[in-house]
Structure 1
Amino acid sequence: MKLIVGLGNPGKEYVDTRHNAGFQWINNLVDKLGVSLRAEARFHGLCARVGQGNAELYLLEPQTYMNASGRAVAALCRFYKIQPEQIIVIHDELDLLPGVSKLKWGGGLGGHNGLKDIAAQLGTKDFWRLRIGIGHPGNRNAVVDYVLRSPGKAEATLIDEAIERSLEVWPLLVQGDCQAAMLKLHTKA
C-alpha cells in the first residue's frame, strides 16, 4: 500500500458527523503512530508521510469536501506515481450497521459521492475500501441530513469500536496483505 485516504468534510461543523468516519480513522492512526498531518495545498488536503520498514506510504484527508475527494486523491497519486490498486479509502457506509467494518476490493460505489468522485478521477473503481458502518436512516430521502449529523451516544460508541477494531489490521494493510486483513476483520470475535 502506498496511500491511505480517510474521507470526510473539513470544518468544525462536520467533525463529529457520521460522514467523517474516514477522517476519524486517519486521526486515530496518526495518534497511534505519533505523526502529524500537514496542510499540502498541491494535494488539496492534510497529509503525512509514514515510513514502515522498507516502504513509505502517505496518509491523506482531502479538504475538498466529500463530493470532490477525487481531486485530492488524483493529485497525490499523480505526483508520487501511485496506482489505484495501492490505495485504501476509508469511508462511512450506510449499508453496514454501526459497530461493523468491512474491507472490500473494487465493486459498486453504493451511491457514495466521495467514492464516485475518486473513481471518476482515477478512471477506475478498482481500489481497496475500508467501510465503517454508520447504519441507514431507513428513508433514502433522509440520507443527506443523516450523514451530516452526529450520531447518538450509543451509536457513536459502536462506530468508535468499529474504527478501533479495524485499526487492529493496520499492520497487515501496510504489508499489502489485504486478504489476511479482510479475514481478521470479518471474523467474529
Structure 2
Amino acid sequence: MQSKECLLIVGLGNPGEKYAHTRHNIGFIMLDVFAKHHHLTWDCDKKSQAFCARLSTPHASIFCLKPQTFMNLSGESVASFCKYHTITQMLVIHDDMDLCLGAVRFKQGGSSGGHNGLKSIDSLCGNAYMRMRCGIGKPTLSQSKPKEQCVIDYVLGDFTHTEQETLDSLCAYGIKALDFFIANPTLQAIQNAYNTKNVKDII
C-alpha cells in the first residue's frame, strides 16, 4: 500500500493584531481563509512556536503552519516543525513586491528576493521548497525618506479599502490553488493551472 504524502503549507506573517491586516501578512491571511473554508481549527504547537491546523485527504496528510516567531525568525519555527514530521513537500505562501496585487506565481528554489522570512527559512531548511508568491505591488517612493523606509512602511501598512476587494478575490482564488496543490503537489502542474499575471486572471 502506497504511503500518504505529508504536505506542509506555511503562511508567512507577523503575529499580533497590529500586523493582522498588513501586506506583509498575506501568507497568514491566505491560510486563515483556507482553514475557514475547510473548517479547520488552529492549535498552538509550542515546540515549533507556531499555530498549526491539520487536514487529511485519502492520499495526503496536510499541515498548515503559521510561525509566531516574527517574520525574520520564521525559519526557526519551520525547521523545528520539520524535525518532528517527515515532510514530503513544502509550500510557503508569502508577499512579493515584484508582482502586482492579484498576481500569483508558483516557483521552486531560487533567491529569497530580499524577503526576510524566506531568508530565514533558506538558512535553516535550504531553498528547495515550493513558493506561492502573492503580489502586493510596489510602494510609491518619497523624496522625504529613504527608499528602505518607504518599503518598510508599505509592507507593514494595511491593505487599503480598494485593495481589500482584490485581496478577497485573491484569497478565493488561493483556496482553489491550494486545493489543487494538495491533489497535485508538483511544480509544473500548479504552474500550468494557477500562475496569473494580474487581478483580471483571478476574478
Pairwise same-fold verdict (TM > 0.5): yes
Checking the alignment, whether the CA contact within 8 Å between 1:134 and 1:159 is kept in structure 2 is: no
1:91-106 to 2 correspondences below 5 Å: 91-106=94-109
Q: Distance in 2 between matches of 1:160 and 1:108?
A: 28
RMSD: 1.5
Aligned position for 1:50: 55
Which residue among 18, 25, 30 is the counterpart of 2:35?
30
Task: Give the residue type in structure 2 aligned to 1:163.
Answer: C
Task: Write the letter of the residue equivalent to 1:89.
Answer: V
Mapped contact 1:100–1:159 kept (Cα < 8 A): no
TM-score normalized by the length of structure 1: 0.92
Matched, 1:67 2:76: no
- Give the distance between the partners of 1:149 and 1:8, measured in 2 at CA: 13
DSSP 3-state at the match of 1:174: helix
Shift of 1:94: 0.7
Q: For 1:150, which of 158, 162, 171 is the aligned residue?
A: 158
Post-superposition shift, 1:178?
3.4
- The question of whether the paired residues in 1 share the 8 Å contact of 2:108 and 2:187 is answered with no
Distance 2:189 2:173 in 1: 14
Equivalent-residue separation in structure 2 for 1:59 and 1:143 (angstroms): 28
Counterpart for residue 128 of structure 1: 130
Q: Which amino acid aligns with 1:100?
A: A
Letter paired with 1:186: N
Distance (Å, rounded) in 1 between the aligned partners of 2:83 and 2:116: 21
One of 71, 76, 80 as aligned partner of 2:85: 80
Indicate which of 158, 161, 171 corresponds to 2:169.
Answer: 161
Q: Is the 8 A contact 2:107 2:187 kept in 1?
A: no
After TM superposition, which residue ranges in structure 1, 4 or more long, deviate above 6 angstroms? none
Cα offset, 1:53, TM superposition: 1.3
Q: Deviations over 1:127-151 (max 9, x none)?
A: 1010111111144421111111102
Contact kept, 8 Å, 2:49 with 2:68, in 1: the verdict is: yes
Unaligned runs of 5+ in 2: 1-5, 142-146
> Of 169, 181, 187, which residue of structure 1 is paired with 2:190?
181
Which of 170, 175, 180 lines up with 2:178 in the alignment? 170
Give the Cα separation in 1 of the matches to 2:64 and 2:195.
24
How many matched pairs?
A: 186
* Bigger radius of gyration: 2
Cα distance, 1:99 vs structure 2 = 1.2
Residue among 6, 10, 14 paired with 1:9: 14
Query: What residue ranges of structure 1 are gaps of 5+ in the alignment?
Result: none
For 1:108, the equivalent position in structure 2 comes to 111
Instruction: Look up the equivalent residue of 2:138 and give its one-letter code.
Output: H
